[in-house]
Amino acid sequence: MRRKLAAGNWKMNGTLAGLDMLADVAAAMDSTAAEAVICPPAPYLLPAVTKAQGTPVGIGAQDCHAEPKGAFTGDISASMIKEVGATYVILGHSERRDAYGETDADVAAKAQAAWNAGLTAIICIGESEADRSAGTTLDVIAEQLAGSLPDGCTGENTVLAYEPIWAIGTGKIPTLDQIVEVHDFIRATLAERFGTDVSDALRLLYGGSVKPDNAAEIFKVDNVDGALIGGASLTPADFIPILQALSAA
């Protein structure tokens, strides 16, 4: 049975004081079956781990370098993330792919580094609005899956997040039928490459303008095992209702 997961991506937002929300999330998890992970900016990783210690809330980073160490000013390695006590890392987010030119091969190399360090990689894939309009969504998803996932993918070392780029931070969301189509396609593609045991174990998240008022409807969709949540993960008032909706789904 795949445990449902609500992962919060703070992006370049939040404050040290804002980490106090971890206590509220932990308290809410006493009555929920879903897993919760918060991914704050890198300077807040250690304080977040410290605040979350002894609670069921997981902490993750938003990126890592593919190399274990070296002359890479401004970057952090997967082993550094692991050493401070975080357990997850987001990789291949569309903002990284677009603004920093990250390729599928780059994402795959980072995923391998994350696995080597003992982290679980949350690997993001998704089509642009132009891809959706052109009817090439599934072709794009297939290409990203083939290029971004190294061999050795398992349900323990990887979570996949489908985030249609046109829905991120825009308030737009795909129809439920569109989410079903993509998530079913991802599951089938994973089964073809890795086998049904891996495919059945790997969690598939939906991401893109997930909010308390639409979460319950999204979580009814088959093959949606949770969400990668942006702005709504910054406050308990928004994040906890999403977590509760996921647990109830």
Give burial (CB, 10 Å; 0-12/13-18/19+) of 193.
middle
Q: Please, are residues 219 and 176 in contact by the beta-carbon 8 Å criterion?
A: no
Q: If we measure between CA atoms, which residue out of 119, 107, 102, 101 comes closest to residue 146?
A: 107
Q: SS3 of 207, please?
A: strand
| Residue in this structure with the two tokens 């090439």, named with its chain if needed | 136
Report residue 111 as tokens. Answer: 């995923």
Give one DSSP letter per residue of 89-143, joined into a string: EEE--HHHHHHS---HHHHHHHHHHHHHHTPEEEEEE---HHHHHHT-HHHHHHH
- The whole-angstrom separation of Cα 154 and Cα 147 is 16
- Residues taking part in catalysis: 93, 163
188: phi then psi, degrees, rounded to nearest 5: -70, -40
- The whole-angstrom separation of Cα 19 and Cα 179 is 32
102-118: b (≥16 Cβ within 10 Å) or e: bebebbbbbbbbbbebe
